[in-house]
């Protein structure tokens, strides 16, 4: 029972503290092979910065290291080209680049 309670608490904590912004537009995307295998994302409304996210020029990074991330990039690029608003959730960590939060989930709004 204690293990179940701890597991539920950790899951809820992750949801509560993960960074997210809703109804925003992508204003800039960049890929630079010199930095690594990921996309840099700039939004029209910056998210609340987490402790590791100190870069004011970019809001999120999206890894391109797996097929799932590549599908997310395709969705991101489609939203950017169509001028659609998105909801984007961070991982609460800076995995690809030491000063920019990583993307966890992405939703395109109609």
pTM above 0.75, yes or no: yes
- Determine contact, residues 42/24, Cβ cutoff 8 Å: no
Residue 89 and residue 83: Cα distance in Å, rounded?
Answer: 19
Give the pLDDT confidence of 36-74 residue by residue, as tens digits. 899 999 999 989 888 898 888 999 999 999 999 999 999
Q: Which helix (H) or strand (E) holds 108?
A: strand 101-108
Give the pLDDT confidence of 31-44 residue by residue, as tens digits. 998 888 999 999 99
| Joined tokens for residue 93 | 């960590």
What's the pLDDT at 46? 87
Give the confidence band of 1 by pLDDT, cuts at 50, 70, 90: low
- Determine contact, residues 94/40, Cβ cutoff 8 Å: no
Residue 35 and residue 102: Cα distance in Å, rounded?
Answer: 14
Q: Which DSSP string do the residues of 26-55 spell out, in sequence order? A: EEEEEE-TTT-SEEEEEESSPPPPPTT---
């Amino acid at each position: 029972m204690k293990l179940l309670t701890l597991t539920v608490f950790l899951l809820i904590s992750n949801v509560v503290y993960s960074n997210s912004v809703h109804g925003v537009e992508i204003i800039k995307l960049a890929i630079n092979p010199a930095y690594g295998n990921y996309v840099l994302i700039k939004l029209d409304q910056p998210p609340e910065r987490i402790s590791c996210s100190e870069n004011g020029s970019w809001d999120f990074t999206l890894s391109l290291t797996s097929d799932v991330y590549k599908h997310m990039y395709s969705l991101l690029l489609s939203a950017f080209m169509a001028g659609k608003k998105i909801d984007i959730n961070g991982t609460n960590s800076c995995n690809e680049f030491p000063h920019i939060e990583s993307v966890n989930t992405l939703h395109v709004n109609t």
